[in-house]
Structure 1
Amino acid sequence: MIIFDGVTITYADAVAPTLRDVDLHVDEGELCLVVGGTGAGKSTLLGAINGLVPRFTGGRLGGRVAVDGMETGRQPPREFAALVGVVGQDPLAGFVTDTVEEELAYGMEQLAVPADVMRKRVEETLDLLGIAELRRRPLRTLSGGQQQRVAIGAVLTSHPRVLVLDEPTSALDPTAAEDVLAAITRLVHDLGVTVVVAEHRMERVVQYADRLIHLPGDGTVRHGPPAEILAESVIAPPVVELGRLAGWSPLPLSVRDARRRAGPLRARLANLAPADRGTDRPSPRPADEPGEPALQGRRITVRYGDVVAVRGVDLNLRRGEVTALMGRNGSGKSSLLWALQGSGPRHGGSVTVAGVDPSTVPARRARRLVGLVPQSASDLLYLDTVAAECDQADGESAVPGGTCRALLDRITPGIAGDRHPRDLSEGQRLALVLAIQLTAAPDVVLLDEPTRGLDYRAKRRFTAIVRELAAEGRAVVLATHDVELVAVAADRVVVMAEGEIVADGPTAQVVVASPAFAPQVAKILSPQPWLTVGEIADALGEAGSRTGVGVQHGVGP
């Protein structure tokens, strides 16, 4: 169905090809998962499938790309519209209408699908993705996760034979992600649709993949069965890392497979406890030693017309504490963050930081009180080069030159200073905005889906920075659906539903008790209270040092 024959893609002024000598054949009805570090070329590979790369991105294409016998080098991208459906990293950038129902129908209108067929497909897609209640909602009023589901639905209504998805679950809560992936796998198994999906949150997708396509970052591509590629890959989900630690072969790809083999491991861990949460996990703050409040919110209310997004929420953010804000898409997380920061609407209640309300002070002072990185991080980028953005951040924050650049290199190293921010990948743009906001080092740092587009290594670097901010006495909030990030980074979890806080407590207490928000390790080793592979390795290492048996001897069959 998809053929890459000796494909090399080189962008203008690039020192090396983004893709080099790629040979790849994808069969009909195959689900391929594309993985690799931030900026490794995943979006380039996806864009080449329908000819958008290099026709709209520039650069040179060597070799041959063909889809169902049609070569992208000989046919314009419009000829692939009915054959290849594409959902990019930024759903909002691809919308062309005003409401959900209109967006779902738009692609079919361009393909001259009969009206009665269009209506039927719209209804089927609304039900398939669980968005029927959104049909008349303006697209601009949807949450990021809701927009992502609509973007996927707008492609599905045209019934393409090939579906290309770039980070399709990055803004979805765990339950919504499972629903979307179930719909995608149904298309693969029942209708023979070929799906190529790039996703940094591998733990969500890898168990469904027929083949793993790994881009190590040097332009080459490795592909094969997921367990075979992951056996040597430096990028791996927690279930695979746990399998490596335990010495399991073949490596498990799902929680179900791992649980079936985890009996001996659970037995070894039965008398151990993650008292210090391990080296990759912060120690929980004792309940009787709360940090000094950095922000106090009282009875916060946010409305959009008749829709109440936040309902009288009380929230204290303590210095030295990382708080994860979780909840399904549309639960009010982003609205609450904007209300706390001061730029967003607030129709009731009060927010106090250092004795003042951030919404009542000049922007320069407000930035030092509360910093916010929104979901659409690229909205904050307006200069021509990465270097100019970094220099501007240093100047506005009155910090030594190079501070912002140093932060950027810690999160995602290797981004050239002369590159235009709009030419960066989604993950690289997010890293740049994170560095800009963190340069001001505000007392309260609010991050809305901060790891969208970041690979596992970048997330580890990001987590280290977040922990340093907390250690310096700042309050940090991560509004996220990334349960693995929460397991590693957060001291506290606050869960929202329908604009209200429904749970608030220590991370282990809240996420282990939740089937939706529990990380993979917690699900595999339940009911034991483990959250990460790192804390298990630490506990087994300490136990081995006391008994003379090290972790390298294995923890299971």
Structure 2
Amino acid sequence: MIRFDNVSVTYNGADRPTLSGIDLFVPEGELCLVVGSTGAGKSTLLRAVNGLVPHFTGGKLTGRVVVDGRDTATHPPRELADVVGLVGQDPVAGFVTDSVEEELAYSMESLAVPETVMRKRVEETVDLLGLADLRGRALATLSGGQQQRVAIGAALTAHPRVLVLDEPTSALDPGAAEDVLAAVHRLVHDLGMTVLVAEHRLERVAQYADRVIWLPGGGAAPVDGDPGTVLAEAPVAPPVVRLGQLAGWSPPPVSIRDARRLAGPLRERLEPITPPVSESVSGREILAATGVTVRYGNTTAVSGVDLKVTTGERVAVMGRNGSGKSSLLWALQGSGKRSGGAVVVDGADPAKLKPPARRAKIGMVPQQPADLLYLHTVATECAQADTESGRPEGTCRALVDSLAPGIPDDRHPRDLSEGQRLALVLGIALTPSPDVLLLDEPTRGLDYPAKTRLAEALRALSRDGHAVVLATHDVEFVAEVATRVVVTADGEIVADGPVEQVVTSSPVFAPQVAKVLAPRPWLTVAAVETALATR
């Protein structure tokens, strides 16, 4: 169905190819997972399937990409639209209408699908992806995760033979991600659809993959094969694979069910050892929110929330899509809407402060990091952050390098990968060293090594007396970095406590290691490794 014959892609101005000598074949009816470090070329590979590379992105493509018998060199994206459906990393960038139902119908209108057929497909897609409650909503009013589900639905209504998904679950809560991936899995097995998916949260999708393609980057040839075998070799792998390697399971399992079948002896070895608990934090109160309410028209996004955070804490705010997490963070930051209640950060209401003073007290990294970038190169963005924050020259650049090394100074921020762009915005937000740092989905687009570096940066902040509040669906990152978890539902806080208590009490928010080693509250591979080494 998809064939790459000696494909190389070099973008204008680049000193080396992003992809080099790619030879791949993806047969019909296969779900193929593409993995690799941030910037390894995953998005380029995916966009070459429908001709966006190089017809839209520019650059030079050598070799041949053939999809269902059509050569992308002679068939531009519009001539592949009936065969290939693509959902990019930023779903908002692909929207062309204003409402959910119109967006679901747009691709079919472009292909001149009869109206009666269009109506039937819209209904099928709404049911498949759980969009019934959203069908009449304006796209601009949806949360990031809801927008992502709509984008996937809009690609599916055209009934493509090939579906290409770039980070399809990055903004979805764990339950919604399972629903979407299960629906895609059914399409592969029941209808023979071919799916090519790139994802950093491998713990969500690896179990569904028939095959894994690992892009090592740096011009090296891709490695493809059985998911467990390939992921065990790659520097990016889900916790269940790393746990399997630690326990000596060969090949390492990629699903929780298979891991639990092998985990009996490991659980016995861990039985006499007490699992670690989250570190105790006894700092001073730095942030206090009382009765915070946020309303958009007749919709109440945040309903009378009380939240107190002390210095040194790393608080994870979790909850399903649309539960009010982002609205709460913006209300705390001061520049977002607040319909009622009070917020005090180190003795001041951030909503009443001017931007420079506000940034020093409370920093914010939004769900769409690019919203904060407005200059033409990485170097000028970093220099501007140093100037605005009154920090020594090179402060911001050093922070960026600690999160995503190797980003060129002269690269335009809009030309960066999602992970690189996020690292740049994180560096900018951390430059003024704010008392409180707010992060909205900070791990979108980050591979596992980058997330480990981010976790260490957040721990360093808390050790220096700062507080961190992050809204996220990334349960593995929460298990690694958080000291406390707050769960929201319908704009209210429904759970608040130490991370090991909150996440293990819910099958939805539990990390992979906790599921494999239940009922004991082990959360991370590192904790298990340390325990075994100590014993």
CA distance in structure 1 between the aligned counterparts of 2:231 and 2:338, rounded to whole angstroms: 47
CA shift digits 1:263-294 (9 cap, x unpaired): 0000010000133x5xxxxx421xxx632111
Q: Deviations over 1:145-203 (max 9, x none)?
A: 00000000000000000000000000000000000001100110000100000000011
Partner of 2:243 in structure 1? 242
Is the aligned partner of 1:272 residue 2:273? yes
Partner residue, 1:120: 120
Structure 2 match to 1:515: 507
Q: Provide the residue aligned with 2:417 in structure 1.
A: 425
Distance 1:342 1:232 in 2: 46
The separation in 2 between residues aligned to 1:173 and 1:76, in whole angstroms, is 35
Within 5 Å, which residues of 2 pair with 1:530-545? 530-543=522-535
- What amino acid maps onto 1:175 in structure 2? G
Q: Secondary structure at the match of 2:233?
A: coil
Q: Secondary structure at the match of 1:408?
A: helix
Shift of 1:37: 0.4
Match of 2:215 in 1: 215
- Counterparts of 1:80-119 in structure 2 under 5 Å? 80-119=80-119
CA drift at 1:235:
1.3
Rounded Cα–Cα distance in structure 2 between residues aligned with 1:51 and 1:39:
20
Tell me the CA shift for residue 79 of structure 1: 0.2
Instruction: State yes or no: 1:226 paired with 2:227.
Output: yes
Corresponding letter in the other structure for 2:475: V
Number of aligned residue pairs: give it: 534
Q: Distance in 1 between matches of 2:521 and 2:110?
A: 53
Tell me if structure 1 keeps the 8 A contact 2:293–2:339: yes
Taking the TM superposition and a 5 Å limit, the aligned residue runs for 1:62-461 are 62-219=62-219, 220-275=221-276, 283-285=278-280, 290-461=282-453
Counterpart of 2:73 in 1: which secondary structure? coil
Q: Does 1:35 align with 2:35?
A: yes
- How far did 1:54 drift? 1.0
Contact 2:275 2:520 in 1 (8 A): no
Structure 1: which 4+ aligned runs deviate by more than 2 Å? none
Q: State which of 434, 455, 468 in structure 2 corresponds to 1:476.
A: 468
Whole-Å separation in 2 of the counterparts to 1:530 and 1:178: 22
Q: Aligned equivalents of 1:421 and 1:171: distance in 2? A: 21
Partner-residue secondary structure (3-state), 1:223: strand
Residue pair 2:126, 2:153 contacting (<8 A) in 1 also: yes
CA deviation profile, 1:370-414 (whole Å, cap 9, x unmatched): 101010110100000000000000000000000000000000000
1:462 is matched with which residue: 454, 458, 464?
A: 454
Unaligned runs of 5+ in 1: 278-282, 544-557
1:299-323 C-alpha deviation (Å, 9 max, x unpaired):
0000000000000000001100100
SS at match of 1:188: helix
In the aligned structure 2, how far is the partner of 1:198 from the partner of 1:233? Answer: 15
SS in 1 for 2:78: helix
Q: Note if 1:44 corresponds to 2:44.
A: yes
CA RMSD of aligned residues (A): 0.8
| Native 8 Å contact 2:232 2:242 kept in 1 | no
Q: Give the share of equivalent positions with the same residue, in percent.
A: 68
Amino acid at match of 1:414: G
Q: Which secondary structure state, in structure 2, belongs to the residue aligned with residue 65 of structure 1?
A: strand
| Superposed displacement of residue 80, structure 1 | 0.3
Shift of 1:12: 1.5
| Alignment partners' CA distance in 1, 2:441 and 2:384 | 24
Q: Once the 2 structures are TM-superposed, how far is the Cα of residue 57 of structure 1 from its aligned partner?
A: 1.1
- SS, match of residue 231 in structure 1: helix
Shift of 1:231: 2.6
The answer on whether the counterparts of 1:100 and 1:138 sit within 8 Å (CA) in structure 2 is yes
TM-score, normalising length: structure 2 = 0.99
- Indicate the SS of the match to 2:197: strand
